[in-house]
Structure 1
Amino acid sequence: MTLLQDHSLEMTGKDVPELEEAVPLIPAGTRVNVTFLSSEDLPTRLTAAAAVKASGLVPVPHIAARRLTSEGDLRRFLEALRDAGVSEHIFVIGGDPAEPMGPYTSALDVIRSGLLPGYGVRHVSVAGYPEGHPDISDGDLWSALRDKTAALAQQGLGGSIITQFGFDDDPIVSWIERVRGLGIDLPIRIGVPGPAGIKRLLGFARRFGIASSAGIVKKYGLSLTNLVGTAGPDRLIGALERRIDPARHGDVLLHFYTFGGVAATARWIRQFDTVGAPGAR
């Protein structure tokens, strides 16, 4: 098997020039998530999503529930996505404000609003956290995942789960097994960091509560005493490919967080897909 088949990528609104540079390296039809950053406005997000579509790729705009100021705000965003022809696939996440800016406290609230199908949404990705969330209890995370899965089914919406990135295959595989044990059969896209500077990778890990002890980063191929250079997820992907069994774990793919840039990530994937990781297959 290869987890790289039908992988997905992530970009921000400002990454359009990099996307255009990377297009020759990205398979047609690849899903590209467009983040919902507080520093970027609606036109920037729409321009990025439209650029993804124009490149022969599938745009997946993000909606951050806690950043929406009202139902009208959500409707305006969905209407703009629909009018731009980029509303079919979306990713809904709670978002990072400590206090919601409007009536939506979680991704579940947005899904349960019932508004999504009316604006052309057909597939909704939701978040998964193999290593937990620094501000949400494990019990609440599992309850939310079950509830989001049920709410999508009730509205006839397709769905998938995109996980936070990590450095260690052990919690990822254990989490997938628990998801399947709960009867949740949505496709899972495992978040992995694209190639990036070591300091940058560890900075994102601290920010998002990702375990990065000396033992874990050594397993990934990093060293806490040598922060010079760039690292890619070779070892992690190789370990996952050895351990994940479609018959047992269902539909599992990769989602690349492009911390080192969209073009650099696309080049790395192309090379890795050609050469592979030792013992991965």
Structure 2
Amino acid sequence: MTGKDIPKLEEAHAGIPQGTRINVTFLAGEDLGMRLAAARAVKRLGFVPVPHISARRLPSRAHLEEFLSGLAEDGTAENVFVVGGDPARPEGPYEDALSVIRTGLLQHYGVRHIGVSGYPEGHPAISDNTLWSALTDKSAALGAGRLAGDVITQFGFDADPVLGWLEAARARGVRLPVRVGVPGPAGVRRLLGYATRFGVATSASVARKYGFSLTNLVGTTGPDRFLDALAERYDPGRHGIVKVHFYTFGGLRTTSEWVARFRERGQLG
């Protein structure tokens, strides 16, 4: 959810299991008050808030401390997700997520669990070698700091690169649980727009696997086939601990209702 999505969360909360982890984004157009209010709303409604910290959007160490202090005062600091962020150039002293983790400030303000990002299909602006180095370094830093953590991957439409990436991550010594990014049900045109923005593959063959057509952008599609393919080929010995993370694209209620129906069919544990 974003800082503006509190009304949407209140509308959807009855259909979301208590204790669900809900990420709160760190968008450029939102201020400290909005981010803190969103995290408080998540906690008030019985969920686990996971506030994002966008390293490159932090103008100073003082700003980071102000955010962490506010979370600590509200009792919403235990879980965070640290990401490099979108700006081409850092707006302050932090180049990437690792530089924030290495400050030691997170533990100081009560953070106990840190999520970091993973990119099964790569990143449009970062080389694969850099991505792998960043992931292994962050994994090692969490271990050195005796911090729990997990990896949340970018969403995708094809299970093949996800499963291959999981094996490659385990081969590189990354033992953190992975939450595979899953697109919530949304309009095909909207999904393709997000995919283009984040460098997610949308070839004709991938589209057919997922269940939509690039020549017919009308209608809505859900991730049934994607999740079925993951479940069918998932091997704990090769892939490690794997869960899912739903990207709602603003549709909190739509996604929660879809998940409930999918779970009723016994397809989601």
TM-score (norm 2): 0.98
Q: What residue number does 1:75 align with?
A: 65
**Structure 1 segment 11-30 matched on structure 2, within 5 A:** 11-30=1-20
Partner of 1:48: 38
What does residue 222 of structure 1 align with? 212
4+ residue runs of structure 1 moved beyond 3 angstroms?
none
Is the Cα contact below 8 Å between 1:60 and 1:90 reproduced in 2?
yes
- Return the offset for 1:247: 3.1
Q: Distance in 2 between matches of 1:46 and 1:147?
A: 29
Once superposed, what is the RMSD of the aligned Cα atoms?
1.2
In the alignment, what sits opposite 2:178?
188
Match of 2:196 among 202, 206, 214: 206
Secondary structure of the structure 2 residue equivalent to 1:13: coil
Q: Would the aligned equivalents of 1:69 and 1:102 in 2 still touch at CA under 8 Å? A: yes
* Residue of structure 1 equivalent to 2:143: 153
Q: Show the counterpart of 1:140.
A: 130
Task: Tell me what 1:94 maps to.
Answer: 84
Task: Choose the corresponding residue for 1:173, options 156, 163, 167.
Answer: 163
How many angstroms does 1:276 deviate by? 5.0
Deviations 1:187-219 (A, max 9, x none): 000001100111000000000000011111111
Maintained 8 Å contact 1:197/1:260: no
Structure 1 residue aligned with 2:259, among 265, 269, 274? 269
What are the Cα deviations for residues 72-114 of structure 1, in whole angstroms up to 9, with x where unaligned? 1111111111111100000000000011000101000000111
Check if 1:66 corresponds to 2:49.
no
Take 2:220 and 2:169, find their aligned partners in 1: how far apart are those partners? 33
Please state whether the residue corresponding to 1:165 is helix, strand or coil. Answer: coil
The equivalent position to 1:122 in structure 2, one of 102, 112, 117, is 112
User: Partner letter of residue 70 of structure 1?
Assistant: S
Q: CA deviation at 1:245?
A: 1.7
User: 8 Å contact 1:196–1:260 — kept in the other structure?
Assistant: no
Q: Quick one: which of 220, 230, 244 aligns to 1:240?
A: 230
Q: Is the 8 A contact 1:195 1:260 kept in 2?
A: no
Q: Distance in 2 between matches of 1:12 and 1:276?
A: 30
Count of residues in correspondence between the two structures:
269
Partner of 2:152: 162
Q: Residue 42 of structure 1: CA displacement?
A: 1.0
**How far apart in 1 are the matches of 2:140 and 2:184?**
32
1:201 partner amino acid: L
Partners of 2:9 and 2:253 within 8 A in 1: yes
In the TM superposition, what is the alpha-carbon distance from 1:260 to its structure 2 partner?
5.0
- For 1:218 and 1:230, the matched residues in 2 are separated by 14
In structure 2, distance between residues paired with 1:215 and 1:234 = 17
- Give the match's secondary structure for 1:14: coil
SS where residue 4 of structure 2 aligns? helix
Structure 2 counterpart of 1:5: none
